[in-house]
Amino acid sequence: MEVILIQDVTNLGYKDDVVKVKNGYGRNYLIPEGYAIMASETNRKIHAENMKQRAFKLEKIKTQAEVLAKGIEDITVKIGAKAGANGKIFGSVNAIQIADALKEQFNYEIDRKKITIEGEHIKELGTYKAKINLHKDVKVEINLEVVAE
C-alpha cells in the first residue's frame, strides 16, 4: 500500500513523501492517526498540484529575500551607545538595536530574531559584523560601527 505522508513520521519519511508501507500499518495506524492519506490517483493529483503551488510561493519568498540581501550587503550601520572614557559601552549592543538602526537609517524592516552578532556581545566601541538570516538559503553579512553618543 502506498500512502502520502501529511506530517513527518520517524523512521518512515518526511511530510509530502509518497512511501510504501504494509497494509495493516497504513490502515490501522498512519491513516487513522492523521499521519498519512491513501495514495489514490485523485490524492496524487491533489498532492502534485499542492507541491507545485508551494514551490511557486517558496520561490517568490526566496527571490524577495535575495533582492533584500543585495540591498543590504554593503551597508554600514552606525549604532550610537553611551561609553566611558576607555571605550567601554555601558551595557551592550544587541539585535534589537541593530534592527532599529536598520529601520531608521535605511528603512529596512528586519525581524530582530533573524540577526546574529558574531562573537558573544558587543561591549566596546569599534567595527563589528552581524549576520542576517533572511531565508534558509539567503544569508547576508553587514558591518556595524559602534560609536559614542
Predicted confidence (pLDDT) per residue in 25-62, tens digit? 999 999 999 999 999 999 999 999 999 999 999 999 99
Question: Alpha-carbon torsion 12, 18, 20, 25, what sign?
Answer: positive
Instruction: Give the start-end residues of each E strand in 1-138.
Output: 2-5, 18-20, 36-38, 76-81, 88-93, 115-117, 122-124, 126-133
The model scores a pTM over 0.85:
no
| Residue 147 pLDDT | 92
Predicted confidence (pLDDT) per residue in 102-121, tens digit? 999 999 999 999 999 987 78
Q: Residue 76 — left, alpha, or beta (φ > 0 → left; ψ -120 to 50 → alpha)?
A: beta
pLDDT above 90 as % of the chain = 83
Which domains does the chain carry? 2-68 (3.40.5.10), 72-148 (3.10.430.100)
| Residue 26 pLDDT | 95
Average pLDDT of the chain, as a whole number: 92
**Confidence class for position 96, pLDDT limits 50, 70, 90:** very high
Say how many C-beta atoms besides its own lie within 10 A of residue 146's C-beta: 22
Predicted confidence (pLDDT) per residue in 74-87, tens digit? 899 999 999 988 88
Map residue 62 onto helix, strand or coil: helix
Q: Are strands 88-93 and 122-124 parallel, antiparallel or unpaired?
A: antiparallel
